[in-house]
Structure 1
Amino acid sequence: MTRLPAWAVRLRTKRLDKGWSQKDMAKEIVEHADALGVRMPERNSLIRSIKGWEAGEHRPRHPYPMLYARVFGTDEEALFGDPLEPSYRSPAEVLAAVMPEHDLLGPESDAHGRRRIDMGTVTDLSGRVHGLRLADDVLGGDDLIGPAFRELDAAVRLYRENTHDETVGRALLGIIGEYAQIAGWIASDAGQEHQAVQSYRLGISAAREAGDHTLESNILGSLAYLVANTGDPREGAELALTSLDALKPWSPARARALAWDRVAWAHAREGNAQAAIRSLGESETALAGEYGQEPPSYLYWVNAGELQIMEARVFTELRRPLRAVPLLTKVLDRYDAAHARELSLYLSWLAVALIDANEPEEAARTARRMLDLCADIASDRMTQRVRIVLQRLNVYQDVPEVRAVLTGYPFTA
């Protein structure tokens, strides 16, 4: 499969970000065309054209670039510019753009009142940051963002305002990196994307200074995931490939598997199916290579089940529901319901895959379970997924089971 043109990726990504089907897209185009007095072809013909454009088979001609720009509230150049994409930036170029402009971890110039920090303090902080990760398993970002950033700030001040030997200093930097990763993850769940990016950048800087390649890769991968979802998928792919490059041959298998998963997801968001599927295979191979290695505590959640979920999400993003539905169904049947947000998020992907498979009744049942489960979860990420599912279900509003969901949960519409 050849690489999709940049404009084709943009058209598809922007439509999916709106939660629209290709039928919805045709409706939006027709409405804007009617307002301008532009005649449109028969609706099914327009839907076929939309499919062809998103597949990169041929470039839209006048008046469609103008109509697309109006539908998405942007200009034609932003959608259809630079058709010849440059190659990915090198990892060094990506890191140069990501690293903070100023040294955020340098010691305070005033040494008055400093105390000596030992490994006992590091051990205590390690337990606290892991406790924060476990809390994130059951609570939403809105509930945790305040405590998370207070903990991160306290760890940075502890490092900058006190003294320590080289070993303790390196360990403290690793703790700061771990705090920055989970704080960034929590901020992204709360919809605070700028705060998440700044936290990740601090964490990458701390991990690099500590010489912790595995931690650096983990934080870069988290940033890649955020950018692929909320920004430019191509930049997300560059960051994901950089996270992979940060690892060493002796890095833990779970770290390598997770890095490949992030690469697969970013490629799927780009619309690069071949690269995404190849990366999924690399992830599975990497995890199978774990022979008694002791992974860092922050990779506790990486296992075969989670990799299967990511695989299913990649196939859903690529609109291949026949691959996605069996995988998601198998894993979710045994998923821990105590992790309500994650289970709800994964159910949202199953609902979308079922919609793509033209199974509206089963999609409605899955959506109802998702909505009941996530009702009290304070997560912007979950709110966005709910909106997408309901918008996608709206195509089937004449189906009784779907109509019951759409009318039964008006507060989420």
Structure 2
Amino acid sequence: MAFEVSYNLENEQQFWDELDDIVSTRCHGHEHELIDNALRSFLNVTTNYKSEYLQTDRSVAECVYRLLQGDLFNAHKEYVRRQIVYCLLQEDDNPTLHIVAAFLLFDGRNNENDVTFEMMQAEGVFPRLVELIRTPSVQEDTRLHQMLLELMYESSRIQRLSWEDLMSVDDTFVLYLLEIIEGISDDVDDPYHYPVIRVLLVLNEQYLVASTTQQAKGRAGVTNRIIKALSSHGTTYKIFGCNLILLLNRESETSLQLLILKVLYLLFGNPTTAEYFYTNDLHVLIDVILRNLVDLPADSPAVNALRHTYLRVLYPILSNSQISKPPHYKRGRIYEILHVLVNSGNHFAPVDETTQRLVTRCIAVPWLQPASPDSSSVSDSNGHASATQSPISNGPEHVIGNGQKELARRTLGMSVQSGGESSTSVLEVAAHTEKPGVQTPSRGRGMGR
């Protein structure tokens, strides 16, 4: 989209006045040439004066929202969107990329029908975003880089990526994102944390869904490059895991909790990453999971799906992580909470069959067994039950163990045979989703705490 108009604006007020004039342009019928000229003028003004009047994220947002609310866009939404998408696909100028990426991000977030992100998907924008994010000149512009990461996340969590989209992500790209997290300050409130981590979360989600879909059709699965990278380089990229726990601890949006839990599910189900987390961080993770399980209110389909996912993550933690080795962390407390979850005599609503089955599977982990049938609530001051373990049958646990090995191979993109509890769990975990923005109900918030 070439620039044809030049401006000489003397102050910030003239800048905003000029923008208001441009976005108020009225083009009747299908006068595409007039629309194009107006869009060129908009990009010309915003990019030429970006360093003077658009120095903050808030000012860029204000600029974009004036276009979104103006007559030019509202009379020709589809055409303007498509022209902006084409601009993102073709332009290499950083200021221009910043404005068009901001437009697509804010327009997509505001659009309940997801037409913006669907258009981006149809026009093949995802590989272009991968290309731009790894471009050195873009990486030097932190604000633009962050904007493109946010655009990738928002557009990718709404709909499924194509095979070509997934193939545009290679090991180098994933390792680059993990390196960014390692280099960021330890402050999880750093605005750079969220965009990078959430891109990795949504990529894992896309790999999980694509793999289970391919497996259901009897085809070779897709290599999950997130799990692959952490399998090979986990000791180098520990901060990513620390941040997952911090985010799960404070995240109230259900969709993001599910994205985090799906990564954890695959990490603990894979023998090469089952002990990826530091032991102290693992203890914090267990505390967070137990608290959230107790905090979830009475049953509803959405709450049950989240509760089931927490329980599916808890099982491989208990079975495969370093907590399965002495000294066991809060053995008595874990057993007690699991018992409460399936005890209909307390304040919980009647338990659904899936919750009962998943809790029973967790309780059956050998090291979690109490010393005797009536010692489930007995523990020492550290929450540890008696060291004596009761024997359990090897039948179901043996099948589940094999399933975990199959899951590990599947996440690395290897062909395996489906079947068993593990295969069902993978499919159910992959299927659990929630619309962006929906908050997780909380028993604690309901009591006003």
- TM-score tier, shorter chain, comes to 0.3 to 0.5
Point out the structure with max Rg over C-alpha. 2
Relative to its length, the structure with more helix (as a share) is 1
TM-score normalised by structure 2 residue count: 0.31
